[in-house]
Structure 1
Amino acid sequence: MDHLKLIAMKFLFSLVILGIILGAGFDVNFGNVFLITLVLTALSYALVDLILLSRSSNTTATIADFVLTFAVIYFMTDALTVGDNVFAATLISTISLTIFEYFFHQSVARNLDGEEERSGNVNPTPQLSTEASEELYPYDEEE
């Protein structure tokens, strides 16, 4: 149920942001904005929020989201519209969504943190330690 709430929240906020920037600012129709938001939400949540965020930091996930968002918005806007200002629309949309994603990743980490403990998944980071022995300390000379 947590995943459904997070996906819905991500979709709605992304739809509002892209609707304002692409729809109102660059005259992209609502159907295209909806389709771009749907594809972007599905890819970003599956690849970045679930897989990458659990294995890396918020900063790394946000950078990955920036790259993914830029690619999806650029290619879909270029394919679905006839506008000549695709790069500017993509850049403004991507920066706005990346700011939202930074805070969204904190929410994902908070809501899904206990889920790994309940499911029994092991953290992939190994717990390493060092060991010292007598051979490393030659100060105690035997007489």
Structure 2
Amino acid sequence: MKHLKPMVIKFIATFIMLFVILNLFFGMSFAKVVFISLSLTIISYSFGDVEILPRTNNTIASLADFGLSLVTIWFLSAAVTYFNRSPLFISSLISAAAITIFEYFFHKYMLSFFQKQTDRVLPRPRPLPANFQTETSEEIRPKIEKNHENK
């Protein structure tokens, strides 16, 4: 239940951006935009905001959301429309860029939202201990004996 409010905010913002870009500029139908927005919201929230963001920082999570948005929008647009392939990629690229800008600010909200919910900072994975071993010797340089007698 605590995830409902952020998902609704994310869905509304995603829908508005995709409606403007895909419907008004590229002529995709309203129902297809709703389907893509809902699918992208669920996929992006569960992977980007719940899994990636707590383990990394805002920049990495935003870049991951860009790739995820680009692939998801491109794949779903190709599955539900009969457009030529080049407008699909261009429209997907523009949509993913717009969503990434929103995601950057949404991640800041998510960090503060979950910090208020749990009254603590989101956990970060602890790095594995580095067990390095080195081999040492007593000599740095070998001793070269100079025997002038054996020449």
For 1:104-115, what aligned pairs fall within 5 Å after superposition?
Answer: 104-115=106-117
Sequence identity (%): 38
Deviation, 1:91, is 0.7
In 2, the alpha carbon distance for the partners of 1:91 and 1:23 equals 15
Deviations 1:66-120 (A, max 9, x none): 01000000010011111121011111101001000000000000100244457xx
Task: Indicate the residue corresponding to 1:92 in structure 2.
Answer: 94
In 2, the alpha carbon distance for the partners of 1:51 and 1:26 equals 32
> Residue 7 of structure 1 contacts residue 41 of structure 1 at CA under 8 Å; is this kept in 2?
yes
Alignment size in residue pairs: 126
Provide structure 1 residue ranges, at least 5 long, that are not aligned to the other structure. Answer: 129-143
Higher alpha-carbon Rg: 2
TM-score by length of 1: 0.81
Coordinate RMSD, CA, aligned: 2.0
Is 1:23 aligned with 2:23? yes
Partner-residue secondary structure (3-state), 1:45: helix
In 1, the alpha carbon distance for the partners of 2:50 and 2:115 equals 11
Provide structure 2 residue ranges, at least 5 long, that are not aligned to the other structure. Answer: 130-151
Task: List 4+ stretches of structure 1 deviating above 3 A.
Answer: 114-118
Deviation, 1:6, is 0.5
Deviation, 1:122, is 5.5
